[in-house]
Amino acid sequence: MATAGGIPPDIAGLWSNNLVSYAQKRAALPLDDYCEKHGITRDSFIPAYWDMCTYKGHVYGLPTTPASVALHWNKKLFREAGLDPDKPPELDAMSELLTKVEDGKIVQMGFLPAEPGWWNWGWGCFFGGRVWDGESKITCDSPDNVRAFEWVQGYAKRYGTDSLQTFQSGFGNFSSPQNAFMAGKVAMELQGVWMYNFIDKYAPEIEWGAAPFPHPEGRPDIARTSIVEEDVVIIPRGAKHPDEAFEFLAFLASTQGSEILNMGQRKFTPLLDVTPEFLQKHPNPEIEVFIDLAHSPNAVTTPPLSIWNEYMDELTNAFDEIWLCRKTPEEALGQVRERIQKRLDWELRRQEVLD
């Protein structure tokens, strides 16, 4: 709003999935010339994080604090179930062994696709699916995506939607000791690099591990799949001090600035090279797992679409319909594709006119 009103700040922080919208609406200043002047290039960054800051060949932001997601597991619950607590989970088979039902009620789940529910749109990624073709076609109902959501719905059918809803109603707030994973109600959970911060604060006694989310049988080509995200910084168009603003952005993109910031947040840096001291002093015992996933060729980013938030909402709604067994995956995802394809066609025509 400040940018549209002509009184923008000199620097603004965005989530990476909002950058394309700002670039399309010309609310962010292109940074190509500044990057060239300061010697900042793609070669210094983990590719996925740099690419999320570009649109149509131009740089509109710089990465600050990146993230990747991995499967976390509770080693104590594994040990109690007779499983090797130090072996990365195989998921479905282990989930059944870790699930407990008392007096007809679920009291512990090995794994729950709806928890925490932040990437309900993205389960297809872990089965080789993608939500668009990279150009103009919505592909959310591709065979790989349908297979993923059939797997999701399999949990609902196996344990019952009513039972699962009752079980989930007992979960506390994410940032509290009543968090489902930290309270020991869910033994395995897909979570980001930031999860260590909350475990350290609310449940430091937990023994836990993190590993890449398991790939489907017969698909070693999609091993080490992870959804990667980041915070970015931009200079809004019309900023009064763009030169000084970029001096600060350049510091954030340096080894020193990036390591100060990401050690403070207990994340890893978006840079390819880090100092040995950064890894040695990092408090997260699994930090290298998340770094490795960020480098994976199967690191998945949200598509650079200005309609992404709308698309994500539609996919999340479809997940709910599938999870509650109100629709088949083919039906729910097919309806999303039809709606969003029309929306994308319109947006591409509009953008062509603007360009």
Cis peptide leading into 63, omega within 30 of 0? no
Domain end: 300, 325, 344, which one?
300
Cβ neighbours around 355 below 10 Å, total? 7
Within this chain, do residues 84 and 203 fall inside the same structural domain, yes or no? yes
Average pLDDT over residues 211-223: 96
CA distance 82 to 13: 46
134 is a domain residue? yes
In degrees to the nearest 10, what's the CA dihedral of 194, 197, 199, 205?
140
CA dist., res. 149 & res. 123, Å (int): 7
In a domain, 327, yes or no: yes
Q: Are residues 207 and 144 in the same domain?
A: yes
Q: Are residues 157 and 85 in the same domain?
A: yes
- 88-139 pLDDT, tens digit per residue, is 998 998 999 999 999 999 999 999 999 999 999 999 999 999 999 999 999 9
Average pLDDT of the chain is 96
Is 5 among the domain residues?
Answer: no
Same domain assignment for residues 96 and 243? no
Does some domain include residue 288?
yes
| pLDDT one-digit tens code per residue, 154-206 | 999 999 999 999 999 999 999 999 999 999 999 999 999 999 999 999 999 99
In a domain, 154, yes or no: yes
Report pLDDT digits (tens) over 332-350: 999 999 999 999 999 999 8
| pLDDT band with cut points at 50, 70 and 90 for residue 3 | confident
- Please give the pLDDT value at position 4: 85
Residue 110 dihedral angles phi and psi, to the nearest 5°? -70, -45
pLDDT exceeds 90 at position 351? no
Q: What pTM was computed for the model?
A: 0.95
pLDDT-above-90 percentage for the chain: 95
Mean pLDDT over residues 218-229, rounded?
97
Shared domain check, 331 and 194? yes
Q: What domain range is 279 assigned to?
A: 12-67+230-300
Q: Are residues 119 and 178 in the same domain?
A: yes
pLDDT, tens digit (0-9, with 9 covering 90-100), for 291-331: 999 999 999 999 999 899 999 999 999 999 999 999 999 99
pLDDT (tens digit per residue) in 259-295: 999 999 999 999 999 999 999 999 999 999 999 999 9
| Residue 210 and residue 342 in one domain | yes
Q: Are residues 254 and 326 in the same domain?
A: no
The structural domain count of the chain equals 2
Q: Last residue of some domain: 285, 300, 315?
A: 300
User: What backbone phi and psi angles, to 5 degrees, belong to 118?
Assistant: -85, -20
- Domain membership of residue 7 (yes or no) is no
Task: State whether 215 and 237 are in the same domain.
Answer: no
Q: Please answer whether residues 28 and 61 qualify as being in contact, where contact means their C-beta atoms are separated by less than 8 angstroms.
A: yes
Q: What is the pLDDT of residue 1?
A: 86
Domain ends where: 282, 300, 318? 300
Query: Is there a single domain that holds both residue 264 and residue 201?
Result: no
Largest pairwise CA distance in the chain: 68
The answer on 309 and 199 residing in a single domain is yes
Residue 4 counted as domain residue: no
User: Do 188 and 39 reside in the same domain of the chain?
Assistant: no
Per-residue confidence (pLDDT) for residue 355, from 0 to 100: 76
- CA 190 – CA 337 distance, rounded (Å): 26
Residue 3 lies in a domain: no
Contact 163, 169 (CB under 8 A): no
Torsion sign, CA atoms 73, 319, 23, 50: positive
Query: What CATH number does the domain containing 133 carry?
Result: 3.40.190.10
